[in-house]
């Protein structure tokens, strides 16, 4: 049975849990909170893939790079990834990896990028099933009209991540209530 290591990213703005497989490839990033939702999601994901979980014995490279990104000091990740999904999902997730930092694409353009221009809804579902958000940047995909549509971490988190990428030298403050990163799509430069 494979053994995955996990680490908590206790960042002031966005607590996460991250897991790596036996080959050190990132397999999962989950949005954590005081109820342990991220850890619970990781446990379900690991069980689905027949993996046992062990805590990291020190800070992982994934944790370090996620903190650098959330602090506005990293624009790309240099981590091996293990995309665990269907062929279609993996194609959709690989298309996400091609979206540059600070830019957005629509679901339609993502569908076109994988040669399936009519699969817009399926792209939305694949993005929703992305097990490595933030690193595999599904937050960079918006509706055709510029709307910040669904996101596993919530639309406020998506808005915050996009604002972070627009102003990395001045990361926006994050408060769950009354999120100060509230900007319109026009202010975020999505049009």
* Residue from 138, 142, 148, 163 carrying the catalytic annotation: 138
Residue 90 known to be catalytic: no
Q: What is the mean pLDDT of residues 43-53?
A: 97
Look at residues 15, 35, 70 and tell me which one is the last residue of a structural domain.
70
101 and 161, same domain (yes or no) = yes
Domain membership flag for residue 38: yes
Q: What is the mean pLDDT of residues 101-105?
A: 96
**CB-based contacts of 159, cutoff 8 Å, min separation 6:** 148, 179, 181, 182, 183, 188
Residue range of the domain that includes 26:
3-70
Rounded to whole angstroms, the Cα distance separating 30 from 149 reads: 19
Query: What CATH number does residue 126 fall under?
Result: 1.10.10.10
Stated pTM of the model? 0.89
Rounded to whole angstroms, the Cα distance separating 127 from 141 reads: 9
Rounded to whole angstroms, the Cα distance separating 172 from 99 reads: 21
Of 59, 46, 50, nearest to 7 by C-alpha is 59
pLDDT band at 13 (very low <50, low <70, confident <90, very high): confident
Look at residues 13, 42, 70 and tell me which one is the last residue of a structural domain.
70
Run of H or E including 26: strand 26-31
For 64-99, how does the pLDDT look when each residue is reduced to its tens digit (9 = 90+)?
A: 999 999 999 999 999 999 999 999 999 999 999 999
**What is the model's pLDDT at position 166?**
92
**What is the model's pLDDT at position 179?**
43
97 and 156, same domain (yes or no) = yes
Of 13, 69, 4, nearest to 39 by C-alpha is 4
Domain membership flag for residue 187: no
94 and 162, same domain (yes or no) = yes
**What is the model's pLDDT at position 127?**
96
59 and 94, same domain (yes or no) = no
- SS3 call for 9: strand
**CB-based contacts of 80, cutoff 8 Å, min separation 6:** 23, 24, 25, 26
109 and 47, same domain (yes or no) = no
Q: What is the mean pLDDT of the chain?
A: 89
**CB-based contacts of 50, cutoff 8 Å, min separation 6:** 1, 2
Token readout for 139 is 């937050």
């Amino acid at each position: 049975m494979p053994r995955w290591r996990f680490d908590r990213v206790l960042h002031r703005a966005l607590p996460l849990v991250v897991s790596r497989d036996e080959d050190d490839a990132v397999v999962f990033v989950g949005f954590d909170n005081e109820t342990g939702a991220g850890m619970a999601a990781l446990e379900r994901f690991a069980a689905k893939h027949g993996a046992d979980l062990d805590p990291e014995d020190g800070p992982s490279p994934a944790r370090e790079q996620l903190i650098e990104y959330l602090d506005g000091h990293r624009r790309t990740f240099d981590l091996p990834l293990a995309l665990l999904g269907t062929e279609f999902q993996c194609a959709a997730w690989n298309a996400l990896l091609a979206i540059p930092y600070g830019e957005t694409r629509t679901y339609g353009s993502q569908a076109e990028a994988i040669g399936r221009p009519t699969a817009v809804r399926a792209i939305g579902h694949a993005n929703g099933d992305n097990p490595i958000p933030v690193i595999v940047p599904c937050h960079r995909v918006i509706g055709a009209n510029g709307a910040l549509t669904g996101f596993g971490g919530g639309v406020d988190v998506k808005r915050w991540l996009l604002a972070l990428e627009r102003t990395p030298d001045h990361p926006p403050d994050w408060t769950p209530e009354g999120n100060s990163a509230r900007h319109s799509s026009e202010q975020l430069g999505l049009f």
